[in-house]
Amino acid sequence: MTTDTLNLRIRQICEQTVDIHSFELVCASGAQLPPARAGSHIDIQLPGGLSRSYSLLDDGSESGAYRIAVKLEADSRGGSKWFHTQARVGTMLKACTPSNDFPLVENAPSTVLIAGGIGITPMLSMIERLSRLGKPWILHYAARSPAHMAYRKELERIAQACSGTLFLYFSGEQRRMAVHDIVSKADGNAHLYCCGPSALIDAFIEAGRQRDPVTVHYERFAASQTAALDGGFKVQLSRSGKVVSVTAGMSILDALLDAGVDIQYACSQGVCGTCKTRVISGVPDHRDECLTEAEREENGAIIPCCSGSRSPLLVLDL
């Protein structure tokens, strides 16, 4: 992950739905923004020491701006509430350059996208890219109602102009998405992507268990597991030899920050992968959503904002 910092300015704010606002972010100096590939996100530093990850709606090449969309969550941990109540045109923000934990396989023979609610955000960038490449795509998009469906008109326009097929579902009208049917009927060589609420992703993962794992891709906005907060172990920093105790009620990240360790982090839920750290020795208790199953089995990395340790001592590459 790059740690280069961008100074951004909010150029435009638009209301996309009753609870989703979009924001255009431009370079404060007027310089060109670093390129972003489909599926990328940026980590934005917010007032009060908050850092949050937001998917980019496109690569910014045409508008000269990064576009993000933020849903006002009822249980907001500060990020969505700040954007909806405090952000103004002209507000200055700092962010890391784009990174990508949800990349698009551009040479796939076919692509099926499944989105629920705000989970449409990374899909938009994928659809834009596939359309530019002249590749076909199918999007299954669910929301509570038409009033809650962001970017519907934009998607309909793109589908009509390109080789895209769009299916819309509204739970409030009993038009629900049958995830298992969608996945089971997809071509075996197709690459499938899912983003949205945990229940949607859980259903997608279960439906895709019989497929080749390399064709099944998903990104969560919230963790499906509780963080490891039992404590009772120590973390050693391999570069300095410093040992940090992790006590009950604390995450590894909490303990490291309290000890003055400089470590990058963003979502604090094990979703974005910003705090991913190499494990030198010890056995992690993985609770994240961003490492692959192979990475968890190898125990070569840990997401310290949510994961713990199954061994008394965990040695990290810090």
What is the domain-level CATH number for residue 258? 3.10.20.30
Assess if residue 225 is contained within a domain: no
Mean pLDDT of all residues belonging to the chain = 92
Q: Specify whether 124 is located in the same domain as 212.
A: yes
CATH number of the domain that 155 lies in? Answer: 3.40.50.80
Tell me the pLDDT band of 316, cut-offs 50, 70 and 90: very high
81 contacts: CB under 8 Å, gap ≥ 6: 72, 73
Does 141 score more than 70 pLDDT?
A: yes
Beta strand extents in 63-136 (DSSP E only): 66-71, 92-96, 111-116
Assess if residue 101 is contained within a domain: no
* DSSP H/E element including 85: helix 79-85
Q: Which residue has the higher pLDDT, 214 or 273?
A: 214
Q: Specify whether 195 is located in the same domain as 116.
A: yes
Alpha carbon 56 to its chain centroid, in Å, reads 10
Q: How far is residue 106's CA from residue 230's CA, in Å, rounded to a whole number?
A: 42
The pLDDT of residue 77 = 67
Alpha carbon 263 to its chain centroid, in Å, reads 19
Strands 216-220 and 233-237: unpaired
pLDDT digits (tens, 9 = 90+) for 102-124: 999 999 999 999 999 999 999 99
User: How many domains in the chain?
Assistant: 3
Closest CA to 143 of 124, 116, 165, 164: 116
Domain boundary among 197, 220, 243: 220
Q: Specify whether 212 is located in the same domain as 238.
A: no
Q: Which domain holds residue 27?
A: 5-96
Q: Specify whether 65 is located in the same domain as 125.
A: no
Tokens of 135: 């590749």
Q: Specify whether 203 is located in the same domain as 274.
A: no
Of 39-48, 176-185, 232-241, 303-312, least confident by mean pLDDT is 39-48
Does 270 score more than 80 pLDDT?
A: yes
Assess if residue 106 is contained within a domain: no
Amino acid at 85: T
Tell me the pLDDT band of 79, cut-offs 50, 70 and 90: confident
pLDDT digits (tens, 9 = 90+) for 208-222: 999 999 999 999 876
pTM of the shown model: 0.79
CATH number of the domain that 49 lies in? Answer: 2.40.30.10
Assess if residue 267 is contained within a domain: yes
Q: How far is residue 183's CA from residue 216's CA, in Å, rounded to a whole number?
A: 10
Assess if residue 64 is contained within a domain: yes
Q: Specify whether 118 is located in the same domain as 149.
A: yes
Assess if residue 60 is contained within a domain: yes
**Average pLDDT, integer, range 70-95:** 90
